[in-house]
Structures are given as structure tokens and as C-alpha cells.
Structure 1
Amino acid sequence: MESKLLNVGTHEAGNEFESSLRQAFMELEPRLRPPFSIAIPTPQEYSQLNHALLYGVLTEPQFAKIHVKHLHGLVSDGYALFVSLTLRVVLELYNKLVDSVKQQLIWAVNEIVGVFGVGFDGLLVGLLRHTVGCDYTDRGLWLCFELINLLLTNFISLLEQEPSVLTSALYVYLRLLADHCRVSGNVRVDFLKKLEIEFCVKMLREQFHLSMKIGRDLVRLLQDLVHVPEFRNIWKDLVLDPTTFGTEGFSDVGQLYSTRTSSRYFLLRVTPEMELQLRFLLVHVKFRHLKRYQTWFAKKFLFEPERETLIVDMIRFICCAHHPSNEIIHSDSVPRWAIIGWLLSSFRKKYVEANAKLALFYDWLYFDERMDNIMNIEPAMLLMVCSMPQYVGMTQSLLEFLLLLVDNYDQMRSYTVANGVSLAFNSLVTKGVINNVDTLTSCDALSPFLKERLKKLLSSTNETLPHQLCPSRLPHCSADASHLETPASNPKHEPAGA
């Protein structure tokens, strides 16, 4: 029996999970038609029935309502098993699902949300991860539309049952809008934007106490949307009249800056497949083999010019959501800084490059070692140090950008920003990530102006950096930096060859 669930090529092996769903359906198909048995199933039978019913819901739209009624009649675990199986479909199979099955999947999710099935919040988050802002295909826009429609339709009930889902969705749709609002002349995108703006404004204006749980990255996302009138007004109120949001205890945007964004939000903006492949690169690939995997990764995820905006999300994910163990750090696996350096060499649009560098340094600006994780700021430091002297242009570009942020990012809190960056340097030295700041300030290849500017910054803030600490190992510093090649450098936007 061929799969009705997946688009599978003749050369591809079958999927074990899909096979288990299909096998259960084939074995129990006579029992899936009314009249249904009133006997209480054993645990094994209950599991098989859930597998079979899910397959039936997804592949038999004409019988989907009957299958769901059957499920309602036999459920004994708050729908937990059915939801967990549906989540596996979302996380493991979504990209290969037949289009009609994707439509049934969204229908099933609406049914699950309607009964508040145990774990429905994780199911919605899983689907949100499959939305891609730079995907303007009918399929890509369809998923964005279906989910925003679900969120708006069920807003009150979600607010009562699982408000964290709405906060996650706000993060996702603010990020999607940054891409969608740069598209003009596309009727479908224009209609989608209206719904996305409606949802995000509703959250920010009516549920700011939930919105601010995102932390400092909420500010970063809003700043990318100030050219949109609705968000320009929100930004003005945020800066000039915070009491407008009616949230007890919130009186200044600085409170957002001082709250580190949880890593779970950065997972929302890389698809499960992207996450799997990025973790594979950072754990299992040896530095000497990186070029070959870079080429494959670029063809898979960065093959179109519009997709370079994904790099911003990848950098936040690598810095804040992927923290390798000491064993990995001291092995010859590809270090995080090398992947980021390669990604930073990929841009055609200057504004995307600036957003990517901001994503890299964002946690430096308000760094507080009592709250922030040094692993979030380590990749930027190692990239600057390990690019010298052979690729000092990378070091100079990053350091110049960091110092420009200190001077210009938030002039009302310029001292706070300068102190945060100084504290970041201090922590990187005291924790042994680098031996001393002289690595930068004494480099003959760096601009004298940048070196003097850095010295002035570090000497003018309250925290004094130690000049010499116990040496630490800089992983892969002596490795061949040619691995920092651009993944898409030719005029046809094809990845560069190995």
C-alpha cells in the first residue's frame, strides 16, 4: 500500500513513523466505521486506535468528522496521545506531507484546540516553526494565513488556557512582518499583512504584560518595523509614554533591555529541519570537512536571494540556543564562530547584513553577568580574535560595528550601553574566553582609530578589564579560515563550490 501521507520519491526509503500510522490504519480500518465498539480498549489497543484515527483524519477528509467523533468517544487521556502523534507529524514529516494532508492537519489542529487537548500549545508552536517569512510561495503564505486566522479566531480562549502560545506567536509574526512588509504588489501578501498587523497590535496594545515576556528581543523586532505606521506609533508610546500600555510595574523601555530573551524564542525562527542540520554542522562535522557541508547547507536553505534574511535568525539561534558542551568545544568539531563568520560573508543587502551583526552583538549592549549567559556573547568575540591576522577585515568590520552601536544604538542610554559592552569584554576575559583585550588593541593590522576608540571605551566605564589572566585555549584559532567562504557568491545565486 503506497503512502497517502507523504510525497516520497522512488529512491527514498520509507519513514518508520509514517509506516506505523499506515499499518495501524490498515489493521483497524473495519473498526473505524460506525457502529463503533463500546468495549474499553486495552492500552495497546488504545495506542493503535489513536495511530489509525490520526492516519484516517489526515488521509480521508470525507470521513474526518466521523474519525474525530470516534476519538471523542474513546479518549481517556485528555487527547494527550493523539496530540503527541500529531506533533510528531508536524516536527518530523511536515515538509513531505501531501498538500491535501497539510490541509487536513490544520483542520485537525483546529479540532484539538477546540477541546484544549493536552499539549495543544506545543502543537501550535511546532506549526509556527514552519512559517518562513521569505517564503512567498502559495504553500508558504497559506500556512502563515491559516495559523494567524486560528490565533485570531481563538484569541480569547487561548488567552485563558495557554497565553504563552500568544507570546510565542507574537515573536513569530513580528519577525514575519519584517519580511512581508518589504513586499509590495502581491495581493496575497497584502491581505496576510493586515491580519498579522491586527494580531500583533492587539497583543502589544491589549496584552503588553504578555508581550514583554519576550524580553529585549521584542525591542529589536519592533525597531525593524518602525517604517510601518501602526508600529511607529507603538514605538513612540514605548519610548515617550510607557504608561499607555497599562501594565503595572512597566515604566521604561529599559526594563525590556535588561531582560534576556529566552532561548525558546530563537527556536521559533528556525524550522525543525534547519535546527537539525545546524546542530549536525556544529556537533558532528570536523573543521577540515566544513566546506563540503557549507555548500550543501547553502543549496538547501540559502539558495534564493530573499532567503538571506534567515541568516539573522540562524545567528540568534547559534548564539543563544545552541551552547556546546566542553567536550565539543575542545574537539575538532566546527566552532560556532566559524559558522557565523561564513554566514556573515553571504549578504547582498546592506540592511540584512546590519541586522545580522546586530543579532550577533545584541546581548553585548545590555550585558549583565548576573542574568546573561557568557555563551551568548562568546561567538562574536572568538570570531573577531580568530579572524586575525589572515582575515583581519572581518575583525575590523565587526569591531567597527560594535563601536558604532555603542555610540548610536540608544543615545538616551549611551552610558548603559557602553557599560554593558565593557562588562561583556570583562566577563570574556575573566571567564578565560580570551587571554586579554590586548589581542585586539595591540593588533598592528587593525585601524589605529578603532584601537584607540576601544581603549577609550574600556577605560571610561566603571568596570576595569584585567590585562592578563591565566591563558585559555582558543579552539581552532589556527585553523584555515578559508572555511569562511560565502555560500552564495556567484551571479546566479548558486552556492560557491568546495
Structure 2
Amino acid sequence: MASKLLQLAPHEAENHLELSLRQAFQLLEPKLRPPFPLKILTSDECPDLTRAILYGALTETHLAKTHIKHLHATVSDGYVLFVNLLARIVNELYDKLAETAKTQVLWAAGEMVDVSAVGFSGLLVSLLRQIVGGDFGSGNLWLCFEMVSLFLGKWDCLLEEDPLILTSALYNFLRLLADHCRATVDSRLDALKRLEIEFCVKMLREQFGLCLKFGRDLIRLLQDLVHVPEFRAIWRDLVSNPREFGVAGFLDVAQIYSMRTSSRYFSLRLTPEAETQLRFMLTHVKFGNQKRHQTWFASKFFCSPERETLIVDIVRFICCAHYPPREIIHSNTIPRWAVIGWLLKSCRKNYVEANAKLALFYDWLFFDERVDKVKNIEPALSLMVHSIPHYIELTHALLEFLFLLVDNYDMEQKDMIANRVSSSFTLLINQGLSRNLENLTSGEIIPPPLKEKLRCFLSDTRVGTAQEIQPSKTLGHLIPMEVGTALPEEHLTDV
């Protein structure tokens, strides 16, 4: 029997996961039709029946409800196996699924939410990760529409059973909405943007206490949407009327600066395939041999100009979610800073480049060693140091951008930000992570204005106990990353 689940080219081999599901279905098909036998299944029989039911639910649309009722009647493990198999299909096979099977996967996911199946939140995360940023193809927009509809439609159940999954959805849809709002007028996007705005605003207005668990990257993502009327209104309340959000103890948006964003959020905007390939590059590819791997990665994941925004997510992921072990750090494997340098060179749009640099330096602005990780700030300094002397333009550009952030990101918090950036430099130096830092302050390769400002940040006069973040009166001076920066366009040389 040919597969009804996958669309495979003639030269492609059978998939082992799909084959196991199909064989179970073929073996047990007579037992999948009512009336069902009144028999208690043994522990050995349950897994095969679950596989058969899953295959039937995804390939026999007209009998899908019958199959799920059969599952409800026979399940004995809290739906663990069913959910795990469904998540594996999403993670490993989604792109190859037949169109009807994709529809059934979304339907089955909704059914698992309704019964509070064990592990349903992991399944929803898997589906969220299949939405590709910057991809305006009909299939990708359909998946995005279905997922935001699911989160709105199952709101009460999700809020009761696993509210943190709503923060994962918020991260995703804030990022996706920024891409969708930049797109040229496209009627296909209108309904989708309305739903995305509805969900994100609902989260921020009704569950702001939950949103605070998101951490400081919530502010970074909201910056990209300040031009949208609904989010502009949220900004006004954050600045002028924080009590509007009804969260006890929340008095000012600057409080969010001190909250580190969990690393689990940063993989949400990478597909499992993109994450696997990126981790392979950072774990197995030797420094000096990376060019062909980078070329393949770019052709696969930056294949259209609109997908360039993924670079921002990858930079943030590398800084905050990929921590190579000691043996990798001390090997000749391509380091994190080198991959980030290549990604910055890959930027073609000014606003993407600005947002990528902000992603690189973001934790510097609020770094507190009591809650933050040194590994999050190390790649930026390593990139600046190792770009001397052959790629000095990159070093100049990064220093200029960092100083621009200090002076303009939030004028009310300028002293605090300067102190945190200075503390970041000092902490990295004290831990020996950048032994060649003197290259930045000696010689003639760094322009005198940059050198003098850097020396100021490295001086003992700025460094000490981390300065507490004070309440801000206004966020009107937040640097507008959406429209780029005042920096001149740099030529980013290959690193």
C-alpha cells in the first residue's frame, strides 16, 4: 500500500516512522471499524493500536472523528504515545506531508488540547516552529493562520492547563507580525494580521503578569511594532499608565529590563531543521572550512529577501541558547563569534542589520551577573577583538553601534545602561575571555573618538556594584530600530 501520509519523490526512500504507522494500520485495519471489539488490550497491543489510529486519523478524513473516539475509549497512558508520535511527525516530516494530512495534524492537535493530553504543549511548540519567518507562501501563511486561530479558540483551556505555552505563542506571533506588517499590501495577510494583533493584544491586556515571564526581550520585540496603532496604545500605557495592566508591583517598564529572557524562547523562531544544521556547524565544522556550509545554509534558509529577518533570530539564538562545551571552545571548531560575523555580512537591509546588532548587544545594556549569563555577552566582544586587524571595519561598526545604544536606547536609563555596559566589559576581562582586548585601545587602528570612549567604559570610574534600574518617566527616546540607525552603512567583510 502506497503512503497516503507523505508526498515522496520517486527517488526518495521510505521513511521509517511513516512505515511503522502504515504497517500498524494495515495490520489492524479491520479492528478500526465499528463496532469495536469489547476487549481489554494488553500492554503490548496498545502501542500498535495507537499507531494505527494515528495513521487512520491523518489519512482517512471522513473517519477521523471515529478514530479519535476509538482512541479515547482505549487510551491508557494519558495520550503520551499519540502526542509524541504526532510531534515526531511534525518535527521530522511536516514539509513532506500531504496537504490533507497537514490539515488533520492541526485538527488532531486541537483534539489533544481539548482532552489536556500529556505533552500537548510540546506538540504546539513543534507546530509553532514550523512557521517560517519571512515566508509568504500560501502553505506557510495557512499554518500561521491555523495556529493563531487555535490559540484564540482554545484560550480558556490553555490558560488553565499550561499558561506558559501562551507566552511561547506570544513570542512567535510578535516576531511574525513584525514581518507581516512590513510586507507590501497583500490581501492574503489582512485577516491573518488581524488575528495576530488580536491574540497579542489579548495577551498583553488580559495576561500581562504572564507576559512578564517573557523577560526583557518582550521590549525588544514590541519595538518593531510601535508603528501599529494597537501596540502604540500599549506603549503609551506602559510609559504613562502602567497600573492599567492590573499587575500588582508593576510600576514601570524599566522593571522588565532586569528580567532575563529564558533560553527556551530563542529556538522558537528556528525550524528544527535550521537548528540542527546550525548546531552542526557550531559543533563539527572546522574553522577555515566553513564557507561551503555557510553557502548551503544561506541558500536553504535565506533563499528569498524576505527571509533575511531570520538572521536576527539566529544571532539571538547563538548568543543566548547555544553554549558550546569546553572541549568545543578549545578545539578548532568554528566559534560562535565567527558565525555571527558571517550573519552580519549576510544582511542586505539596513533595518535587519540594525536589529541583528541589537540582538547581539541586547543583554549588554542590562547585564547583571546575579541573573545573567556571561556566555550571552561573550560573542560580541570576541567578534570585535578577533576582527582586528583584517576586518577592522566590522570592529568600528560594532563599537559605534554599541555607543549609539548607550547614548540613545533609553535616555531616562542612560546612566544605568552605561554602567551595565562597562560592567560587561570588566566582567569579560576579569574572566579572561578576551585577552587581546588591548588591541582595541592601543595603536592607531581604532579612530581616536572611539578609542577614547572605549577607554572611558574600561576605566574603573564606571565599574562597581551593578546599578539598580530606576523607573523611567518616558520611553520616547528608545532607538527606532525599525527604520535603521544613524550609523553610516558599513561594508561587512567576511569573517
Q: What is the TM-score with the length of structure 2 in the denominator?
A: 0.92
**Partner of residue 360, structure 1:** 360
Structure 1 CA distance, aligned partners of 2:493 and 2:282?
14
Q: Is the 8 A contact 1:429 1:436 kept in 2?
A: no
Query: Counterpart in 2 of 1:182?
Result: 182
2:169 aligns to what? Answer: 169
Matched, 1:371 2:371: yes
Are 1:50 and 1:71, in contact at CA under 8 Å, matched by a contact in 2?
Answer: yes
Aligned runs of 1:446-465 on 2, under 5 Å? 446-459=446-459, 461-463=461-463
With 435-444 and 322-331 compared, the bigger mean Cα shift is at 435-444
Measured in 2, the distance between the counterparts of 1:420 and 1:347 equals 28
Question: Which structure 1 segments of 5+ residues have no match?
Answer: 466-482, 487-498
Residue 424 of structure 1 and its aligned partner are, at CA, apart by 0.8
For 1:34-113, what aligned pairs fall within 5 Å after superposition?
34-113=34-113
Residue 337 of structure 1 is matched in structure 2 by 337
Distance in structure 2 (CA, Å) of the matches to 1:82 and 1:98: 19
**Aligned AA (2:426):** N
Indicate yes or no: 2:186 matched with 1:191: no
Which string of whole-angstrom CA distances, capped at 9 and with x for unpartnered residues, describes residues 360-415 of structure 1?
A: 00000000111111111111111111111001111111111001101111111001
Alpha carbons 1:360, 1:380 under 8 Å: kept: yes
CA distance in 1, matches of 2:339, 2:443: 24
Contact 1:133 1:180 in 2 (8 A): no
Whether the 8 Å CA contact 1:426–1:464 is kept in 2: the answer is no
Deviation at 1:430?
A: 1.2
Q: Does 1:263 align with 2:260?
A: no
Contact residue 422 and residue 461 of structure 1 kept, 8 A: no
Partner of 1:13: 13
Greater shift in the superposed pair: 123-132 or 205-214: 123-132
Aligned counterparts of 1:167 and 1:13: Cα–Cα separation in 2: 39
CA distance in 2, matches of 1:315, 1:399: 17
1:8 Cα deviation (Å)? Answer: 1.7
Map residues 399-418 of structure 1 onto 2, 5 A cutoff. Answer: 399-418=399-418
Deviations 1:296-318 (A, max 9, x none): 11110011111110000011111
> Counterparts of 1:71 and 1:464 in 2: how far apart (Å)?
61
Aligned to 2:275: 275
CA distance in 2, matches of 1:196, 1:23: 40
> Do the aligned partners of 1:312 and 1:359 also contact (CA within 8 Å) in 2?
yes
Distance 1:447 1:288 in 2: 29
Residues 98-177 of structure 1 correspond to what in structure 2 (within 5 A)? 98-177=98-177
Give distance in 2, aligned partners of 1:177 and 1:443: 46
Counterpart for residue 292 of structure 2: 292
The residue aligned with 1:250 is: 250
- Check if 1:222 corresponds to 2:215: no
Contact 1:178 1:225 (C-alpha < 8 Å) held by counterparts: yes
Give the distance between the partners of 1:170 and 1:365, measured in 2 at CA: 23
Q: Look up the SS of the partner of 1:289 in the other structure.
A: coil
Please report how far the alpha carbon of residue 443 of structure 1 lies from its aligned counterpart in structure 2 after TM superposition.
4.2
- Identical-residue share of aligned pairs (%): 61
Q: Distance in 2 between matches of 1:464 and 1:111?
A: 55
Partners of 1:124 and 1:94 lie apart in 2 by 13
Structure 2 CA distance for aligned equivalents of residues 292 and 353 of structure 1: 23
Displacement of 1:275 in angstroms is 0.5
Q: Which residue of 2 aligns with 1:444?
A: 444
Q: Distance in 2 between matches of 1:210 and 1:38?
A: 46
Q: How far apart, in 1, do the equivalents of 2:383 and 2:437 lie?
A: 14
CA offsets 1:181-203 (integer angstroms, 9 cap, x no match): 11232112111001100111111
* Structure 2 portions without partners, runs of 5+: 466-491
Amino acid at match of 2:69: K
Tell me if structure 2 keeps the 8 A contact 1:418–1:461: no
Q: CA RMSD in A?
A: 1.5
State the shift of 1:138 in Å.
Answer: 0.7
- What is the match of residue 478 of structure 2? none
> What CA distance in whole angstroms lies between the structure 2 residues aligned with 1:464 and 1:388?
29
**Contact 1:458/1:464 (CA < 8 Å) preserved in 2?**
no
Distance 2:334 2:347 in 1: 21
Per the alignment, residue 479 of structure 2 pairs with none
2:26 matched residue in structure 1:
26
AA aligned opposite 2:393: G
In 2, distance between residues paired with 1:290 and 1:322? 18
Shift of 1:458: 3.1
Q: Is the 8 A contact 1:173 1:200 kept in 2?
A: yes
Cα offset, 1:448, TM superposition: 1.3
Change (3 A) 1:411 1:22: same
Shift in Å at residue 349 of structure 1? 1.1
Q: Deviations over 1:243-268 (max 9, x none)?
A: 11110111111211100000111011
Q: How many Å apart are 1:114 and its aligned residue?
A: 1.1
SS in 1 for 2:259: coil
Structural mapping, 1:424-439, within 5 Å: 424-435=424-435, 437-439=437-439
Deviation at 1:75, TM superposition (A): 0.8
Query: In structure 1, what is the equivalent of residue 488 of structure 2?
Result: none
**8 A Cα contact 2:57 2:104, kept in partner:** yes
Q: Distance in 1 between the 2:385 and 2:205 partners?
A: 43
Aligned equivalents of 2:209 and 2:3: distance in 1?
46
- C-alpha separation in 2, matches of 1:65 and 1:485: 55
- After superposing on structure 2, the runs of 4+ consecutive aligned residues of structure 1 that deviate more than 4 Å are none
Q: What is the distance in 1 between the residues matched to 2:263 and 2:325?
A: 16
TM-score by length of 1: 0.92
1:367 and 1:421 in contact (8 A); partners too: yes
Secondary structure of 1:334's partner?
Answer: coil
Deviation at 1:344, TM superposition (A): 0.2
> In structure 1, what residue type is equivalent to 2:81?
L
Per-residue deviation at 1:288?
2.6
* Cα distance in 2 for residues equivalent to 1:156 and 1:484: 51
Q: Distance in 1 between matches of 2:324 and 2:457?
A: 31
Are the equivalent residues in 2 in contact too, given 1:316–1:360 (CA < 8 A)?
yes
Which residue of 2 is the match for residue 420 of structure 1?
420
